[in-house]
């Protein structure tokens, strides 16, 4: 049995019927055909994020669009919201990777269940049959079929559906499609969503012109800041900053700047979503002034944003990225030793060295870092590490996360205050 999501949130259950039979069981749709304007009713959305940090993503979604999101599976959250949520989240979210309009959710036991579930979706109401489409499929679990099979059968179902209902064969483009359908098989569950983001994930930032050997995803940096309780105006310190992603993300957030104001989005090519009714995102021109430059400047970014690294090449790298973000003079990147630097900040947020990034004894490094941090003045620390047992700090909680292919932990520690 398959639950089909419709543009006006009506839902039906279907079995293996033809498209015409399925249509007779679906409530009529309004204002959803290509060129007829935006859908005003709520959609079901599926958004992806960093595995283990779904709750943090849910809080951001609530702040940005007022939706009550819930964890669907590891690395994904679901929620109901108006069509405008697709525009706001793609433009403004700092912790999401992709935003999908979910159109089907059902059980899959065999590969033909994928075909039937997909064909039951009224794609004539979602896709422009004159524009190309492609399917991106992933599969987790034990099955007698592959992710390639999932993509093939889902794609064929869309072609067959539109040939019958729209009287045309929609073009297929697996390399650079105008419209992208994402299919997920997770054990016996099948989820299908229309990608409103595009091939380029939201975690990519234009300021990342200099990459660290072990780069931190900007979305994780943002979620670390949230876990530390950062608020615009706080002083931020990353004592092992690498390419300065954490202080840069903090300053951009405090400035209210969208993560990537100049990029395009897949929703611009989807006929059932009309971004023209949403407010355009405006990015302040030029470099942002800091409070230190002019404390009375109302446009200045409040707070301070410091990064420390012991290697001069990463100090240079961090400065290049800060400049590319328009934050030259706001984000300060200095050369120094995290075990000796004066720790004086509201929040301390850092991606601590893992074994592959550390020269020398990691246990000794963590011990010295813990001692120096304990002697400092700070409110909360959020530290990403694969060795939480090596830290000697007043731990408030630990959050297991997936960091690339590694199992890592975010340690939240309470500081002595400022």
- Band of residue 263 on the pLDDT scale cut at 50, 70, 90: very high
Contact present, 8 and 25 (Cβ < 8 Å): no
Q: Which residues contact 394 (CB under 8 A, 6 or more apart)?
A: 413, 414, 415
Residue range 69-91, pLDDT digits in tens: 999 999 999 999 999 999 999 99
Residue range 124-172, pLDDT digits in tens: 999 999 999 999 999 999 999 999 999 999 999 999 999 999 999 999 9
The mean pLDDT of 245-271, rounded to a whole number, is 96
Q: What is the residue-averaged pLDDT of the chain? A: 87
Residue range 211-246, pLDDT digits in tens: 998 899 999 999 999 999 999 899 999 999 999 999
* Architecture of the domain made up of 2-195: 2-Layer Sandwich (3.30)
Residue with the bigger pLDDT between 23 and 135: it is 135
| Residue-level pLDDT at 36 | 38
How many helices and strands, by DSSP H and E, does the chain display? Answer: 9, 16
Length in residues, the chain: 418
Residue range 100-132, pLDDT digits in tens: 999 999 999 999 999 999 999 999 999 999 999
- Band of residue 404 on the pLDDT scale cut at 50, 70, 90: confident
| Cα–Cα dist 92/87, whole Å | 8
Residues of the chain with CATH 3.30.2130.30: 2-195
CATH number for 218-257+282-417 (one of 3.10.20.90, 1.10.10.10, 3.40.50.150, 3.30.450.40): it is 3.40.50.150
Note the Cα 298 to chain centre separation in Å.
31
| Cα–Cα dist 366/42, whole Å | 49
| Cα–Cα dist 165/382, whole Å | 53
| Cα–Cα dist 275/288, whole Å | 28
pLDDT at 288 over 50: no
Contact present, 5 and 105 (Cβ < 8 Å): yes
| Cα–Cα dist 198/85, whole Å | 16
Going by C-alpha positions, the residue among 230, 239, 252, 240 that lies closest to residue 327 is 252
| Cα–Cα dist 51/73, whole Å | 9
| Residue-level pLDDT at 284 | 39
pLDDT over 70 percentage in the chain:
83
- Band of residue 41 on the pLDDT scale cut at 50, 70, 90: confident
pLDDT at 365 over 60: yes
Instruction: Give the burial class of 414: count Cβ atoms within 10 A of its Cβ; 0-12 exposed, 13-18 middle, 19 or more buried.
Output: middle
Contact present, 59 and 53 (Cβ < 8 Å): no
Going by C-alpha positions, the residue among 148, 149, 78 that lies closest to residue 113 is 149
Residues of the chain with CATH 3.40.50.150: 218-257+282-417
| Residue-level pLDDT at 137 | 98
pLDDT at 180 over 80: yes
The mean pLDDT of 370-377, rounded to a whole number, is 96
């Amino acid at each position: 049995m398959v639950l089909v999501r419709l543009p006006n949130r009506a839902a039906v259950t279907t079995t293996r019927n033809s498209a015409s039979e399925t249509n007779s069981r679906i409530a009529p749709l309004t204002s959803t055909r290509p060129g007829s304007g935006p859908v005003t009713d709520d959609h079901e959305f599926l958004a992806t994020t960093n595995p283990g940090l779904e709750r943090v993503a849910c809080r951001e979604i609530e702040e940005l669009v007022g939706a009550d999101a819930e964890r669907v599976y590891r690395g994904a959250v679901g929620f109901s919201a108006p069509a405008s949520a697709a525009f706001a989240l793609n433009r403004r979210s700092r912790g999401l990777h992709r935003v999908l309009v979910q159109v089907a959710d059902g059980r899959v036991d065999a590969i033909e269940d994928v075909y039937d579930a997909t064909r039951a979706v009224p794609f004539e109401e979602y896709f422009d049959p004159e524009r190309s489409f492609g399917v991106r499929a992933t599969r987790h679990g034990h099955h007698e079929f592959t992710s390639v099979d999932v993509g093939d059968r889902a794609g064929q179902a869309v072609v067959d559906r539109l040939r019958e209902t729209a009287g045309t064969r929609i073009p297929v483009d697996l390399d650079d499609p105008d419209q992208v359908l994402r299919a997920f098989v997770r054990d016996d569950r099948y989820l299908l969503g229309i990608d409103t983001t595009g091939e380029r994930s939201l975690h990519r930032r234009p300021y990342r012109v200099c990459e660290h050997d072990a780069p931190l995803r900007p979305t994780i940096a943002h979620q670390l800041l949230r876990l530390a309780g950062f608020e615009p105006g706080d002083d931020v310190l990353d004592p092992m900053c690498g390419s300065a992603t954490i202080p840069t993300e903090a300053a951009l957030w405090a400035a209210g700047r969208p993560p990537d104001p100049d990029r395009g989005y897949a929703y611009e090519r989807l006929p059932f979503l009309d971004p023209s009714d949403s407010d355009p995102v405006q990015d302040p021109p030029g470099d942002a002034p800091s409070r230190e430059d002019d404390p009375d400047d109302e446009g200045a970014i409040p707070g301070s944003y410091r990064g420390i690294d012991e290697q001069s090449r990463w100090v240079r790298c961090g400065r290049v990225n800060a400049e590319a973000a328009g934050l030259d003079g706001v984000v300060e990147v200095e050369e120094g030793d995290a075990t000796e630097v004066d720790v004086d900040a509201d929040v301390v947020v850092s991606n601590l060295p893992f074994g592959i990034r550390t020269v020398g004894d990691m246990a000794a490094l963590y011990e010295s870092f813990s001692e120096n941090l304990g002697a400092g003045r700070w409110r909360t620390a959020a530290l990403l590490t694969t060795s939480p047992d090596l830290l000697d700090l007043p731990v408030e909680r630990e959050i297991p996360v997936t960091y690339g292919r590694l199992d890592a932990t975010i340690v939240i520690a309470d500081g002595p205050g400022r």
